[in-house]
Structure 1
Amino acid sequence: MRGGHETLSNDQYAYAVGRVRAMETRLLDRSKIERMVEASSAEEALKVLGETEYAEYLAGLKNIYDYDTMLDQELHRVYLELHRFSPEPELVGLFACKFDYHNLKVLLKAQKMGEKRDELLVRDVGNIPLAVLIRAVNEEDYTNLPSKMRQAAEQISEAFRLEANPQLVDLLLDRAMFLEIFEKLEKLDSSYLKEYFTYLVDLINIKTYLRVKRTNNSREFLEQALLPFGEKDMTRLVQLVDPLEVLVDRLMSSRYAQFIEDGIQTYQKTDTLTRFEKLADNFLLKHVKKAKYVTFGPEPLAAFILAKENEIKVIRIIMVGKINQLPTEEIKERLRDVYV
């Protein structure tokens, strides 16, 4: 699944892939997920995790509401471990950069809008130390940040001098993040990774189109909100004035045909993107699973990161459902597929 040329020899990846294959055996399988869903309470759901590698964190939890701490610790452990043995550090960095952009969003909104939300910050997982981001925002000096991030942060600071617009923080930083990601992808030279992020951009853009249409925003706003690098050019594919059936029809010949009708029709009925997001995640996971058949290369490492992040999302869905005493069937409807 590597394009062009082999950037690293198979030998250099043999050890890393061996490590990842061993780690894969400890991912939660469908039966454990189902036991969590069927558990009578949030406490009982957590007990199921006591039989897994999450067990080491359970003793440190103050209460069931503290489960996020456990998930953060596991995410940190996985990224740290992969950083240690990945032959290409930039591979792990490719996935870690989203945490840097997330943190910068939180910090900029805190500074510009007074929305101080320190609990939203992701610690010790990104490529950039949190202290560096905090200092950059406090001093409004972004020179030490990666170029795409720096340019976006400077644009945001400039724009906020004229008008406080929190949407701009998300729009500009999301665009900068994907510019950085696709720049990194050129160096990694993996068609598997490029395809994954291309599909991800398409699915984000479809959601963006749906949201912009619902809020009656302008075409100009849509163009600003759409991300580059997708296969589908939403501005050419469909107009904001078109009924959603047109969007479905235009996408029925695409790779997204298998779920697009279900996802958008459910959205029309419920006015929520919950099902669309689930189907989109499952579509992406199906692509991720192709790495199971790759013997050497970055693909199994990338797949493990995505599998673990998916697992954490699934645990979070279950715990939120259990804490809020949602019916079991409702929780099941929201669940994503699992990697193993």
Structure 2
Amino acid sequence: MANDTKYAYAVARVRVLETRLLEKGQIDRMVEARNAQEALQVLGETVYGNAVAELEDVYQYEELLGGELGRAYQTVRSFYPEPALVDIFAAKYDVHNLKVLLKAHFLGIEPDETILSTGAGSIPLDSLKAMFREEDFRDLPPALRAAVEEIREAFVQEPDPQLIDIILDRALYEHIFAMAEKLPFLQELFTHKANLVNIKTFLRVKNLGRDWAFLEKVLLPGGDLDRDIFRELLDEPLEVFSDRLAMSPYAQVVEEGIREWQERQSLTRFEKLADDFLLHFVREKKHASFGPEPLVGYLMAKENELKLIRIIMVGKINRLPTEEIRERLRDVYV
């Protein structure tokens, strides 16, 4: 009973946080704004008001988004009874920071502080920086520690920054699946994510004319799409690939994504549909009273919301047509 009460309190807190998410009408008003300044003013009329008031100009919107992301993760950590669950979602920010720090380390320069993630990751940024100063990575999770050591050895032979991304992306999913071992809902979610990323990677690698040896290196672990599909169809027309996945859960994502890829050489539609697929997956489970589903839904909804704001602000700053911005927008959670 005590455990149920603990989770009931956490879910109740999540429900309150959900009420503070932006609604579709608020997003639509930002899209319809005449320019970036007006879009920011619309955002200032929402729960983001205090953060918007601190900005000196529209170009500082990334500072707002980064701060809001960090606050969201710190908030849920303050009340959720299973911190490890939050860490599963925070791991991607740890990996992002590791990529930035490793690339700076090998280039012999100071890392760009403006692109480092603060507050959202599970490993404090100062701790990561200390690991590099002391060249001691023992406190990293096993998969990430092994990846850093692999990169340090590989970079001596092949100083290619792409190696850092490839090895750490693979390690991230190994790390996530290890943490989610006893959480079927999260295993299913990240299996979908791995599949969708691997499909997108397949399209990019095929377009570059790279071979199976390269594709095999960059495919993520954890997906359940048969790798033979990617291997056998790498040299086949994309229509054959689309047909092969016609009975999979990703049929619409693949069909429409490939269509735009062929017409515009753009993966924008694919990325939007993939994000919508994942958001729909967690939204279907959001009403669970206990378990990880409500928290997972909120974290993904918050990240999605910040992505929507970024898409709108980038579009307005670059004076893209309203309809072009709208085409790129993901669904909203609420």
User: Moved runs in structure 1, 4+ residues, more than 3 A?
Assistant: 113-116, 234-238
Gaps of 5+ in 2: none
Shift of 1:236: 3.5
Checking the alignment, whether the CA contact within 8 Å between 1:260 and 1:276 is kept in structure 2 is: yes
Checking the alignment, whether the CA contact within 8 Å between 1:223 and 1:235 is kept in structure 2 is: no
Distance 1:195 1:80 in 2: 25
More moved, 140-149 vs 109-118: 109-118
What are the Cα deviations for residues 64-117 of structure 1, in whole angstroms up to 9, with x where unaligned?
000111111111111111001101011111111110000000111112135743
Shift of 1:239: 2.8
Query: Which residue in 2 is equivalent to 1:112?
Result: 106
Query: Which residue in 1 is equivalent to 2:161?
Result: 166
Checking the alignment, whether the CA contact within 8 Å between 1:13 and 1:298 is kept in structure 2 is: no
Distance 1:155 1:268 in 2: 37
Query: Which residue in 1 is equivalent to 2:270?
Result: 276
Distance 2:229 2:326 in 1: 36
What are the Cα deviations for residues 143-191 of structure 1, in whole angstroms up to 9, with x where unaligned?
22111111100110101111211111011101111111001101xx332
Aligned residues: 332
Checking the alignment, whether the CA contact within 8 Å between 1:41 and 1:322 is kept in structure 2 is: yes
Is 1:125 the counterpart of 2:117? The answer is no
Checking the alignment, whether the CA contact within 8 Å between 1:113 and 1:164 is kept in structure 2 is: no
Superposition CA RMSD, Å: 1.6
Select 2:29's aligned residue among 21, 32, 35. Answer: 35
Query: Which residue in 2 is equivalent to 1:92?
Result: 86
Distance 1:114 1:267 in 2: 38
Is 1:309 the counterpart of 2:303? The answer is yes
Query: Which residue in 1 is equivalent to 2:214?
Result: 221
Distance 2:265 2:133 in 1: 39
Distance 1:160 1:57 in 2: 41
Is 1:249 the counterpart of 2:239? The answer is no
Query: Which residue in 1 is equivalent to 2:67?
Result: 73
Checking the alignment, whether the CA contact within 8 Å between 1:29 and 1:338 is kept in structure 2 is: yes
Instruction: In structure 2, give the amino acid aligned to 1:257.
Output: A
Shift of 1:39: 0.5
Shift of 1:277: 0.3
Distance 2:270 2:299 in 1: 23
| % identity of equivalent residues | 53
Query: Which residue in 1 is equivalent to 2:203?
Result: 210
Shift of 1:247: 0.9
Instruction: In structure 1, give the amino acid aligned to 2:201.
Output: T
Distance 1:169 1:259 in 2: 29
Query: Which residue in 2 is equivalent to 1:3?
Result: none
What is the SS of the residue equivalent to 1:128? coil
Distance 1:202 1:292 in 2: 22
More moved, 308-317 vs 21-30: 21-30
Q: TM-score, normalised by structure 1?
A: 0.94
Is 1:292 the counterpart of 2:297? The answer is no
Instruction: In structure 1, give the amino acid aligned to 2:152.
Output: S
Checking the alignment, whether the CA contact within 8 Å between 1:91 and 1:298 is kept in structure 2 is: yes
What is the SS of the residue equivalent to 2:137? coil
Shift of 1:230: 0.6
Shift of 1:326: 0.6
Shift of 1:243: 1.2
Instruction: In structure 2, give the amino acid aligned to 1:112.
Output: F
Query: Which residue in 1 is equivalent to 2:256?
Result: 262
- Superposition pairs of residues 155-194 of structure 1, within 5 angstroms: 155-186=150-181, 189-194=182-187
Distance 2:62 2:172 in 1: 25
What is the SS of the residue equivalent to 2:197? helix
Distance 2:299 2:225 in 1: 26
Checking the alignment, whether the CA contact within 8 Å between 2:71 and 2:119 is kept in structure 1 is: no
What is the SS of the residue equivalent to 1:291? coil
Instruction: In structure 2, give the amino acid aligned to 1:200.
Output: K
Is 1:26 the counterpart of 2:20? The answer is yes
